[in-house]
Structure 1
Amino acid sequence: MAGSIFLAVIFLIFGFWMITVPWLLWWITESWRSKDAEGPSDLYIRISKITGVLFMIFGALNIVDIFV
């Protein structure tokens, strides 16, 4: 049970991070692949935010499932 709560909280934190600062995620994971890249594309930012929302929903549903 403690591992499940920990994993759910990790999903919530990572999802929040993806929603609030998607450019930082791009900089850490993708910027090194191109020397001419100036920043993430609009599509990358949108997909990161959508994925962050899904991560937060998944984390919240896991917490609800644990306590219900």
Structure 2
Amino acid sequence: TYYVDMYYDKDADFTLPTAMKTSCSAKVMTPKPNEKMLSYAQSLDKADAPPEDMELGNYFAQKVTLQCQ
């Protein structure tokens, strides 16, 4: 899994294309990592890497859920 560094300040900052707006809705979910996870991530330098099964980016990445009918 790869995570892209981008961020929506407000849910309204993410918009659907006009053609999708009538049949789909979107919800932006922003994670709230705990202090322990924040400290761990901040302790890593560019040469460090967390274990693959940890999926560190999952603790910080926003997710957009699309629901279409």
Same fold, TM-score > 0.5, yes or no: no
When Rg is computed on C-alpha atoms for both structures, the one with the higher figure is 2
TM normalised by structure 1 equals 0.23
Structure showing the higher helix proportion among its residues: 1
